[in-house]
Structures are given as C-alpha cells and as structure tokens.
Structure 1
C-alpha cells in the first residue's frame, strides 16, 4: 500500500477526534482522570481464572459512551496495564463496525495519524499491503466512534504507539480472519475488537440474549448476528481466526446500560473478553 494511496496532498494527515465531548471527555485532564479511575477500579477486581495477562493477544471491548460502557472496557484494558512493560504490545489494531457510512470489506482512514485529546498515534498498516479486502475510505472513518473511543484507553496505558484503525463493513468471517492473521504475524501486535451486544430490549431480556451470545463467543461460534452484537463482523472474524492461531476466549465482564447510567426499560448490552495464546 503505497504512500500515494494514503493521501492526495503532501505532508502528514491527521484524522481528528470526532466524538470527544460526546462519548468521552474532551478535556485532556478530565479524560485521563476518567480512564485512570476506571482502570484502578478494574485493577481491584481479580483476573479471571486461566487468564494470563502476558498471553493476551486480543481483546473484545464495548464502544458506547464511557459513562455507559467504559468500566466494562476497562476490565479488558486492565490486562494490558498488568503486563510487564517489556511484554506490552508495540502496535494495536482496532477493528470496529461502521455506524454511519457503510462499506464492503475493511477500510483504513485516509490519514497518517489518529488524534484524540490525549495525543496522536501514527497509523501503521504493515502486513495489509496485499489484501484486496482492505481499502482506504476517509468517509467511513470521519465520524465513526467505534474505533475512536478505544484509542484514549490505549494511549493512557501504552502511549502514542502505532495503531491500525480498521472499519469493518460487509465482510465474511474468513475475510476478516485473513486480515487478523496478517496483522498478528507480527507477535507484538495486539488485536482489539470493538463491539456492543444487544440493543434496546428491557434489561432482563437483554441479559438473557447477551448470556446466549457470550456462551457462543466462548464456544467459538463465528456466526454471531448483527442483532446480537453490532460489531459482529469483526467479532466473527476473530472467532474464525482464533482456533488456527491457538487462542482461547475468556469472559472478563458483562453488564447493560441499565446497570450503569441508563433506563432499564430499553438497554444496550456490553461485555469484554480476552483471547489468550495457549501452549501448542
């Protein structure tokens, strides 16, 4: 993927924050304090049995406003903070669904950097150059929140390290799996899948549906439907790739917006998972 495909103008291009002040605080100090508080609360919880933070190769975390799902996301990101500094990833690929501009396949932004109030991360698509399902599409990234809300957590723990922001549209599990496999050929690349679960059911109904979806994720079912997880395309790709990579799924936390800051009559479900590399 040549530099000419990244931008049609000279000089570096930055994708600016689109949802700061809406999904998360726009003030850098307030944002850092919010994330630190969420991570500290997560650190007070025990790590689930069988989860070695040093073996985590992928996370699945929600992408709603922080007041709703940020604490659930923090349960995943806490595992990164628990790692020895010399074993932390050097690059993070974030795969999230498209909410505003639909696409076929997967898309990188037409940018060299992705900014949040905490700084700017360079975009590094190494490993994707030969994959036909990956293209450049500025429009689908322009106002998309599913990837952006993950970046401040990454920055707060790992700094402004290289990231691979990939919007995932209509794509088969094997197409997404091929992208993931290409990315993690670099063992210092972490995968983050951005997905919420069910939408707009009463709390008790949502928990029942989400429990079913959670069981399917843990069983490796790569046919999760859009009404069960809005990020089902990237999630199904991860589930398709995981067996061949020797990765196992572990549930970290689950809740609904009714548990955090919302009306229980119409909720959105959230969960976080870790995928760990097992001995072969």
Structure 2
C-alpha cells in the first residue's frame, strides 16, 4: 500500500489527532446552510493560525452535503517544483493525523491520456497546498475519495478542460487552494486583494501569480463558472496581520462558495 504521509502536520496544523479535531471544531461546528448545493470552494492554504478561520468559514457550509459528496477534486499550486502541466500521485492514499483518504485512481484514467498530466509522488511529497485542506474535508464529509492535482505551468483553458471531464455531478466537489498577495505592507495588500476579489466576482479569468499563488487554478475555475452560469459568493477576506503576522509583510486569504444558483 503506497501512502503519502503528512508533510506539514505539526507545523501548519496540529499533529495530535485530538488537538487537530478540537481545532477543526472551532471553525466547523456551526454547520451553516447554503440555499443551493455547493459545487466548489476557493480556500487558502497557509498555516491554520493564519488562514484556518478563513478556510473554515467556507468548509463549514459543507455539513448539509456531508453524505452527498463522495469525491473531491483538489487543485493547488506547486511551491517546491516547477514542471509543465499538472501532476497526480502514484500513491493509493493520502494520510493525515485524522486517518487515510483513498485516491480515486479510476478518475485518473480520464485524464492520464493527456500530455499535460504526469504521475509523480516526489512532487506531492512535501507540498502543503493540498495537504492543509484534508483535515477540513475529513471533518466535514462522511466518506469521499480524492483526486489531487498539483498545478505547474499550464494554460487555464487546458486545466479547465481536465477539470470539466471530472467535475460533472453533485456528488463531486471541486476545491481550489490559493492564497492571495504576498509580502506587501498591510494597507497596500488590502487594496491589491480587494481588486483581485473584484476580478474573481466578475468572473475575469486573468489573475496573475502575483495576485494569487493559485491563480491558474482560480482562472480555470472561473472559466467553468462562467460557462455553466454558476454563482460565486465571497465568505471571508483577511490577511496574516489579522492574527499574529507582521503588518509590513502580509499574505492575503479569501474563501468563496460556488453553487448552481
């Protein structure tokens, strides 16, 4: 059994299962309701002390669909490796302190014929952008399999085509992992991030990596949101200085809900 072990447990989030579960409950106990079933979320991927509440604001809305969602497509940028296209793991399971998550190898058969998809456990081994979302999903959903895609250099239109081949029914949730601007002074960062949010809310798929490290994933999602006539709603917008971060070098965080309304 090939298991991808957690790389950032104990640094980005709690390593103890009990402490991690307690941390999750702080943000997820509300079990908020949304008028329409959610099809996707955009959430940040920093350490929980900085962005956990912003991510939890969005994930808390999944409680109503906890038994309906059986597959999660999880997309995030690669921070350690540069490569063309996107990468899927050879691993059979991803692990967190809360247990194992099965990788949906059947879904891979739909996208592996593409020259833009490669298989690599090495690329996934130490990446945090996907891993930090897993405890939230394990806490909110009853039973699900995972389709993890790490994004390298790929056109949003091409990535959107790969996503669309997998993202068809209401049993499949799409999670796009991205932070916003990096290392600007607080006042400047808030202006940049508000402008970025305006682009997202106007479904303008032209974000740059300077606006959001997961810009390619967000742009691909926006292309599909516009094509399908989905509704996008901002839930939370903060930055690292709202917690314990340095006000001279902040990182921005936002969360969105996407539904068919």
TM range, smaller chain: over 0.9
Partner of 2:238: 255
Determine which of 24, 27, 45 is the counterpart of 1:63.
45
Cα distance in 2 for residues equivalent to 1:151 and 1:66: 12
Cα distance in 2 for residues equivalent to 1:64 and 1:203: 17
Alpha-carbon contact 2:37-2:65 (below 8 Å) kept: no
Partner of 1:211: 194
Alpha-carbon contact 1:124-1:162 (below 8 Å) kept: yes
| Aligned pairs, number | 258
Alpha-carbon contact 2:231-2:260 (below 8 Å) kept: yes
Partner of 1:19: 8
Alpha-carbon contact 2:65-2:141 (below 8 Å) kept: no
Question: 1:59-100 CA distances to partner (integer Å, 9 max, x unpaired)?
Answer: 00000000000000001101102x1544x3111111000000
Alpha-carbon contact 1:128-1:183 (below 8 Å) kept: no
Alpha-carbon contact 1:224-1:232 (below 8 Å) kept: yes
1:129 is paired with a residue whose SS is helix
Partner of 2:91: 111
1:165 is paired with a residue whose SS is strand
Question: 1:20-64 CA distances to partner (integer Å, 9 max, x unpaired)?
Answer: 001000000000000111223xx39x87xxx52x42100000000
1:152 is paired with a residue whose SS is helix
Cα distance in 2 for residues equivalent to 1:173 and 1:85: 29
Cα distance in 2 for residues equivalent to 1:130 and 1:107: 14
User: Runs of 5+ in structure 1 lacking a partner?
Assistant: 1-11
Alpha-carbon contact 2:66-2:142 (below 8 Å) kept: no
RMSD: 1.6
Partner of 1:194: 177
Q: Is the aligned partner of 1:129 residue 2:112?
A: no
2:56 is paired with a residue whose SS is helix
Alpha-carbon contact 2:13-2:47 (below 8 Å) kept: yes
1:127 to partner: Cα distance: 3.8
Partner of 2:60: 78
Alpha-carbon contact 1:110-1:137 (below 8 Å) kept: yes
2:211 is paired with a residue whose SS is coil
Name whichever of 188-197 and 99-108 sits farther off.
Answer: 99-108
1:1-280 map, 5 Å? 12-40=1-29, 43=30, 51-52=34-35, 54-81=36-63, 83-86=64-67, 88-131=68-111, 132=114, 133-159=116-142, 161-278=144-261
Alpha-carbon contact 1:57-1:276 (below 8 Å) kept: yes
TM, length-normalised to structure 1: 0.88
User: Runs of 5+ in structure 2 lacking a partner?
Assistant: none
